[in-house]
């Protein structure tokens, strides 16, 4: 039993790592294509048919590029910062059920690494630790623009963590469990959670853009100074790791929204599994869509939105949910 469990877990972890690292690469291709079509351009076209092999070309470029560590940086911290971003993104995936459980030759497989009973809290906590990547990267870079972007990014992450937590509180009160599988099963009998908690869904979605650092909340890049922000001094695969972390986070966030608010994989049939993948694809597309449609907001507008609009809304939502549940 012990050995079988160990082998199963290792296989699951390796699968998740490989699948989502690859998806992060393919995600960049989709992002460029979607943005191109929305802005009436062609996007990548030269490598392979419709530029589909662009992912491989980018990968080869990133892997073979010289790994430059500039003179004045704090070496060890500078080197470990991208690893933190990528590692925390994948560690968070340990408590996410990616598909309903299925059977291979009489052996039941649960496509979740560990169904701990504080699942959603664990995912959010580990995702939140991911802000150390940009923060330490920026602070170790010996570059004032990188430092500025790190400070701004950290402020955004910390502020919007509050929104994520508070917006989730109302749905969690209704379900009475932190486990993502329980949250999924709650929606089998009744309606989807978005019907009961539309406000929480909108808040969680907005906070998702801030947590993954996507446009319109892409403050980790210094757009007005035309500088890339905390990643300015990075090159090659270290920079690529930041990217993999960001895209993996986007996929995991899409999984979270689909499972929490849009029914997840339903009753666990094959149809439900495909429905979950469809919803995840839609939300990934939604991230790209928003990037094509909206400009970045100013940092002070972002803080105003967080503390003066979203947080009171989330608190009011919790109070109303509490009253409705009590009476």
Residue 306 DSSP class: I
Residue 227 DSSP class: B
Query: Per-residue x/- mask for another protein, residues 289 to 318, rule CB under 8 A?
Result: ---------x-x------------------
Closest to another protein by CB, 118 or 324? 118
Q: How far is the CB of 200 from another protein (least distance, A)?
A: 19
Rounded to an integer, what distance in angstroms lies between the CA atom of residue 17 and that of residue 25?
12
Q: Which token pair is 139?
A: 């602070």
Q: Which stretch binds another protein (CB under 8 A): 121-129, 212-220, 237-245, 280-288?
A: 121-129
Q: How far is the CB of 317 from another protein (least distance, A)?
A: 20
Residue 255 found at the interface with another protein (CB under 8 A): no
Q: Which token pair is 231?
A: 């990643």
Closest to another protein by CB, 27 or 216? 216
- Return the closest-CA partner of residue 214 out of 245, 168, 238: 245
Residue 3 found at the interface with another protein (CB under 8 A): no
Q: Site for another protein (CB under 8 A): which residue of 13, 52, 57, 116? A: 116
Q: Site for another protein (CB under 8 A): which residue of 10, 26, 158, 324? A: 158
Q: Which token pair is 8?
A: 């199963």
Q: Which token pair is 320?
A: 């109303």
Q: Site for another protein (CB under 8 A): which residue of 72, 103, 191, 326? A: 72
Q: Site for another protein (CB under 8 A): which residue of 10, 60, 118, 293? A: 118
- Return the closest-CA partner of residue 31 out of 281, 287, 243: 287
Closest to another protein by CB, 17 or 129? 129
Residue 173 found at the interface with another protein (CB under 8 A): no
Distances in whole angstroms, Cα of residue 184 to Cα of each of 110, 118, 170, 274: 14, 14, 15, 15
Residue 122 found at the interface with another protein (CB under 8 A): yes
Q: Which stretch binds another protein (CB under 8 A): 34-42, 126-134, 236-244, 268-276?
A: 126-134
Residue 69 found at the interface with another protein (CB under 8 A): no
- Classify residue 233 by burial, with Cβ atoms within 10 Å: 0-12, 13-18, 19+: buried
Q: Site for another protein (CB under 8 A): which residue of 20, 98, 131, 255? A: 131
Rounded to an integer, what distance in angstroms lies between the CA atom of residue 260 and that of residue 263?
7
Q: Which residues contact 133 (CB under 8 A, 6 or more apart)?
A: 81, 82, 83, 84, 85, 86, 88, 242, 245
How many helices (H) and strands (E) in the chain?
Answer: 13, 2
Residue 235 found at the interface with another protein (CB under 8 A): no
Interacting residues toward another protein by CB under 8 A: 72-74, 76-77, 80, 116-118, 121-122, 124-126, 128-129, 131-132, 135-136, 139-140, 142, 147, 151, 154-155, 158, 161, 177-179, 298, 300
């Amino acid at each position: 039993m012990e050995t079988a469990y160990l082998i199963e877990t290792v296989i699951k972890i390796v699968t998740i790592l490989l699948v989502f690292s690859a998806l992060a690469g393919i995600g960049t291709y989709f992002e460029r294509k979607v943005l191109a079509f929305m802005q009436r351009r062609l996007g990548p076209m030269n490598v392979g048919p419709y530029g589909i092999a662009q992912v491989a070309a980018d990968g080869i470029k990133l892997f073979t590029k010289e790994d430059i560590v500039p003179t004045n940086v704090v070496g060890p911290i500078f080197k470990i910062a991208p690893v933190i971003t990528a590692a925390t993104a994948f560690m968070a995936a340990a408590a996410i059920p990616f598909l309903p459980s299925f059977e291979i030759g009489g052996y039941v497989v649960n496509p979740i690494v560990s169904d701990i009973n504080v699942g959603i809290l664990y995912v959010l906590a580990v995702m939140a630790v991911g802000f150390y990547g940009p923060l330490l990267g920026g602070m170790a870079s010996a570059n004032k623009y990188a430092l500025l972007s790190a400070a701004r990014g950290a402020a955004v992450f910390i502020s919007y963590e509050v929104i994520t937590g508070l917006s989730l509180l109302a749905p969690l009160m209704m379900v009475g469990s932190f486990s993502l599988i329980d949250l999924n099963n709650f929606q089998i009998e009744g309606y989807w959670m978005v019907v009961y908690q539309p406000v929480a869904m909108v808040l969680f979605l907005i906070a998702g853009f801030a947590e993954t650092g996507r446009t319109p909340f892409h403050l980790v890049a210094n757009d007005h100074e035309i500088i890339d922000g905390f990643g300015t001094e990075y090159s090659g695969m270290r920079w690529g790791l930041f990217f993999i972390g960001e895209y993996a986070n986007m996929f995991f966030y899409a999984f979270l929204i689909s499972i929490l608010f849009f029914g997840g994989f339903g009753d666990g049939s094959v149809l439900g599994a495909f429905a979950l993948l469809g919803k995840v694809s839609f939300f990934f597309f939604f991230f790209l869509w928003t990037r094509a449609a909206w400009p970045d907001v100013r940092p002070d507008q972002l803080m105003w939105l967080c503390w003066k609009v979203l947080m009171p809304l989330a608190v009011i939502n919790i109070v109303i949910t509490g009253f409705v549940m009590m009476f």
